[in-house]
A = this chain, B = another copy of it.
Amino acid sequence: MSTEDETVDGVFRALADRSRRALLDALFARNGQTLSELCAGRGMTRQAVTKHLGILESANLVASVKRGREKLHYLNPAPIHEIGDRWISKYERTRLDALFDLKKALESDNE
């Protein structure tokens, strides 16, 4: 029955929030930003952003390094690709099959 990987769940949960995806986008645009930088323009408090970054770090999507009094954040795209490779690609085979099944079901509906 292969219980799903714990890691996968964490990543999906982390990606479920718009603000967190926006943070990843920000790091994608410019890697190594400080907390304050990542807070700029977002309509929420620094503490809220801290929490989001915490969740992203728990999911291993972001790594951070303290330098002096500031904390630099780095994007780790690996888990995203794991999702792509291990999870999404699994559904590749059914691309057309599923639609066919559905159409067939719709037809036999009026028997």
Q: Given A15-B12, A18-B9, are A102 and B65 also a contact pair (CB < 8 Å)?
A: yes
Number of copies: 2
Chain A binding surface SS class: helix
Closest-CB distance, A79 to chain B (whole angstroms) = 10
Report chain B residues within 8 Å CB of A22.
4
Q: Given A18-B4, A28-B91, A109-B65, are A98 and B75 also a contact pair (CB < 8 Å)?
A: yes
Size class of the A contact interface (CB-based, 8 Å) = 35 or more
| Interface, chain A (partner B; CB < 8 A) | 4, 9, 12-13, 15-16, 18, 21-22, 24, 28, 31-32, 63, 65, 67, 72, 74-78, 80-81, 83-84, 88-92, 94-95, 97-99, 101-102, 105-106, 108-109
